[in-house]
Amino acid sequence: MEENLNPFKIAQRQLDAAAEKLGLDPATHEFLRWPMKEITVTLPVRMDDGRTRIFRGFRVQYNTARGPAKGGIRWHPDETLDTVRALAAWMTWKTAVVDIPLGGGKGGVICNPKELSETEKERLARGYIRAVGQALGVTRDVPAPDVYTTPQIMAWMMDEYESLLGEHHPGVITGKPVPLGGSQGREDATARGGIYVVREAAQVLGISLEGATMAIQGFGNAGQYAALLGEEILGLRLVAASDSKGGVFNPSGIDARALVDYKQTHGVLQGFPQAEEITNEELLELDVTVLFPAALENVILKDNAGRLRCRILCELANGPTTPEADEILFDKGVFVLPDFLANAGGVTVSYFEQVQNTYNFYWELKDVHQRLDAKMTNAFHGVYEMSRREKLPMREAAYLVAVSRVAEACKLRGWV
Ligand code: NAD
């Protein structure tokens, strides 16, 4: 039978399994299967040539029992409401698993940013905020960057929101540039958090990472910093990386900094000297110690999961592995660091950014790193203990930790 790759159906299936193990009552279970609020908008945007183009956008507030909705805005040609719903659900479990006082949300616009000029991007960003702004706010819903959105786009969005209100509200959006109230350390936070949990995983598994190998699928924000920090913090050796156009491979090692510089100069990885070309599919099947999927969802499927040879799978991307593939990986003994644990560093430093905006007092980089390390290390061990106690894969254990926290908050509020 064909695998169902609808991300929201996958998110609901994962929740169903957790609800059953937790013995959730039917009302709580059904409530957690759906977003609490969804907004769909149609955005007219004036293009540079004078024409008006119409874009579709979404904002989903999945669950706000533990705090305001929190989650990035993705600009992608294949964006769908169901993808945004799934990502909003995973944000809900993510803020719960790292135990920060926020709920889960997500936004998206169907567009290809690679075809938009800077001025068109600015008009789209401002138009999106005019359309959904009333539902946003530091006490309601706080967006952030995600695939193909940047600190500059966050700056335009914050400015539009503040113009609508006529007052300063830097905490309405995170991932801002540092001069506008962004946090030190936000840029590499997702990858850094992932590196901290790989470090903890290797320690409990008794694996030495110094000189061991890593491969990275997706060489954007999360992937590039994973390469740099994997090398710097863990002593890992990068052997392969890819982006949407293809990948490069060298079994004796690729200098991470040189590859990041090459990508920044040329916009692609292909043509990087001293490495051969490799496809995205081949990269996933390399014999490496740590594999980082850091692109998009649904890349590790029942058809290729059996061929993965990594020891640790650190999911920096959201939803890279299907439930069928998960079972195969568990049987093979691949240690999976599930997405909403592995990539929670980004939202954790986004939360730190909001705290600093509220205090109007800003932390030094070393304080951000130290607090992020503490949050990620605690979250890892909470999930690991659960997985040992219940003899469950890490993803299921993470679900049990997160869903029980959200369910408890819903019950305490008297919602269910
Ligand atoms: P990004 O836009 O900076 O980079 C995405 C990268 O993926 C690009 O290099 C692109 O070329 C590559 N890519 C796109 N399609 C691909 C394909 N089919 N095969 C291989 N590579 C492909 O995005 P990002 O912020 O690094 O996000 C990557 C993943 O990490 C997403 O799943 C995102 O939801 C997740 N994530 C990001 C953050 C964050 O703070 N940036 C936080 C949590 C999770």
Say how far apart CA 25 and CA 16 lie, in whole Å: 12
Residues in a beta bridge with 38:
60
Same domain, 70 and 167: yes
From 70, 106, 121, 263, active-site residue: 106
Among the candidates 322, 337, 352, a domain finishes at 337
Q: Is 270's C-beta closer than 6 angstroms to any atom of ligand 1?
A: no
Residue 26: how many CA atoms within 13 Å on its side-chain side? 0
Among residues 327, 290, 416, the alpha carbon closest in space to that of 32 is found at 416
The answer to the question of residue 354 being in a domain is no
3-state secondary structure of 63: strand
In a domain, 84, yes or no: yes
Atom index in ligand 1 nearest the CA of residue 94 equals 43
pLDDT at 4: 87
Q: Are 109 and 79 in contact (CB under 8 A)?
A: yes
Report residue 344: phi and psi, to 5°: -75, -5
Are 290 and 162 within one domain?
Answer: no
Which residue's CA is the nearest one to ligand 1's atom 18? 244
At 334, the amino acid letter reads V
DSSP characters over 301-340: -TTTGGG---SEEE--SSS-B-HHHHHHHHHHT-EEE-HH
Same domain, 208 and 332: yes
Order of strands, sheet of 290-293, starting from the edge strand that comes earlier in the sequence: 276-278, 246-249, 237-243, 213-217, 290-293, 312-314, 335-337
Confidence of residue 3 (pLDDT cuts 50, 70, 90): confident
Q: Are 297 and 203 part of one and the same domain?
A: yes
List Cβ neighbours of 101 (8 Å cut-off, separation of 6 or more): 66, 67, 351
d(CA 111, CA 92): 25
Region of 192 on the Ramachandran plot (φ > 0 left; ψ -120 to 50 alpha; else beta):
alpha
Mean residue pLDDT across the chain: 97
Is ligand 1 within 6 A of the CB of residue 161? no
pLDDT for 129 equals 98
Domain span including residue 137: 32-180
Task: Please indicate, yes or no, if residue 361 is contained in any of the structural domains.
Answer: no
Residue 2 lies in a domain: no
Residue 194 CA to residue 335 CA, distance in Å, equals 14
Residue 298 has a pLDDT of 95
Same domain, residue pair 331 and 197: yes
Residue 16 lies in a domain: no
Residue 151 DSSP label: H
**CA 204 / ligand 1 centre spacing (Å):** 28
Same domain, 89 and 221: no
| Residue 242 Cβ < 6 Å to ligand 1 | yes
* Cβ atoms 104, 91 nearer than 8 A: yes
Atom 13, ligand 1: which residue's CA is nearest?
Answer: 244
- Domain presence at residue 148: yes
Question: Of all protein residues, whose CA lies closest to atom 14 belonging to ligand 1?
Answer: 244
Q: Does residue 113's CB lie within 6 angstroms of at least one atom of ligand 1?
A: no
Residue 302 a catalytic site member = no
Per-residue pLDDT band for 2 (boundaries 50, 70, 90) equals confident
- Is residue 379 within 8 A of residue 95, CB to CB? The reply is no
β partners of residue 313:
291, 336
Clarify whether residues 90 and 48 are in a common domain. yes
Task: Please write the tens of the pLDDT for every residue from 34-70.
Answer: 999 999 999 999 999 999 999 999 999 999 999 999 9
- Please write the tens of the pLDDT for every residue from 218-246: 999 999 999 999 999 999 999 999 999 99
Is 47 inside any structural domain?
Answer: yes
Q: Check if 316 has its Cβ closer than 6 Å to any atom of ligand 1.
A: yes
**Whose CA is closest to 140, among 105, 109, 170?**
105
The total domain count for the chain is 2
239 within ligand 1 shell (Cβ under 6 A): no
User: Using CA positions, which residue lies closest to atom 36 of ligand 1?
Assistant: 317
Helix (H) or strand (E) holding 43: strand 37-46
Structure tokens at 147: 């695939």
pLDDT exceeds cutoff 90 at 274: no
Distance between Cα 320 and ligand 1 center (Å): 11
Does the beta carbon of 317 lie inside 6 Å of ligand 1? yes
Q: Is 138 exposed, middle or buried (0-12, 13-18, 19+ CB in 10 A)?
A: middle
* Ligand 1 closest atom vs CA 263: 9
Query: Of the candidates 337, 370, 387, which is a domain's last residue?
Result: 337
In terms of domains, do 103 and 227 share one? no
Q: Count of CB atoms within 10 A of residue 412's CB?
A: 10
Does 217 sit in the ligand 1 pocket, CB within 6 Å?
A: yes
Kindly indicate the confidence band of residue 1, based on its pLDDT and cuts at 50, 70 and 90.
Answer: low
Whether residues 320 and 249 share a domain: the answer is yes
218 CB under 6 A from ligand 1? yes
Report the separation in Å between the CA atom of 166 and the middle of ligand 1, taken as the mean of its atom positions: 34
Q: What pLDDT does 40 receive? A: 98
Query: Is 318's C-beta closer than 6 angstroms to any atom of ligand 1?
Result: yes
Q: How confident is the model at residue 76 (pLDDT cuts 50, 70, 90)?
A: very high
CATH number at residue 87: 3.40.50.10860
> Which of 75, 190, 260, 315 has most ligand 1 atoms within 8 Å of its beta carbon, as the pocket-test mutant?
190
> Which tokens hold the place of 51?
């024409």
Domain stops at, among 337, 355, 387: 337
Distance CA 109, CA 113 (A): 10
- Looking at the chain, the whole-number percentage of residues with pLDDT higher than 90 is 99
Q: What angle do helix axes 221-229 and 256-266 make, rounded to 10 degrees? A: 150
Residue 280 and residue 224 in one domain:
yes
**386-403: average pLDDT:** 97
Ligand 1 in reach of 293 Cβ (< 6 A): no
| Nearest protein Cα to ligand 1, atom 23 | 147
Q: Are 70 and 350 in contact (CB under 8 A)?
A: yes
pLDDT tens, 136-161? Answer: 999 999 999 999 999 999 999 999 99
Q: Are 263 and 225 members of one domain?
A: yes
What is the per-residue DSSP string for 7-40? HHHHHHHHHHHHHHHHT--HHHHHHHTS-SEEEE
Which of 91, 146, 153, 300 to mutate to test ligand 1, by most ligand atoms within 8 A of the CB atom? Answer: 146
> pLDDT of 340-367, one tens digit each?
999 999 999 999 999 999 999 999 999 9
Residue 280 token pair: 């995205």
Query: Among 149, 187, 244, which is best to mutate for testing ligand 1, by the most ligand atoms less than 8 A from CB?
Result: 244
User: Long-range contacts of range 382-386, CB-CB < 8 Å, 24 or more positions apart?
Assistant: 382/97, 383/97, 383/341, 384/200, 384/201, 384/204
Residues of the chain above pLDDT 70, percent: 100
Distance 222 CA to ligand 1 centre (A): 6
The 10 Å Cβ neighbour count of residue 274 is 11
CATH number at residue 211: 3.40.50.720
- In terms of domains, do 333 and 195 share one? yes
Q: Is residue 366 part of a domain?
A: no
CA of 305 to the centre of ligand 1 (A): 20
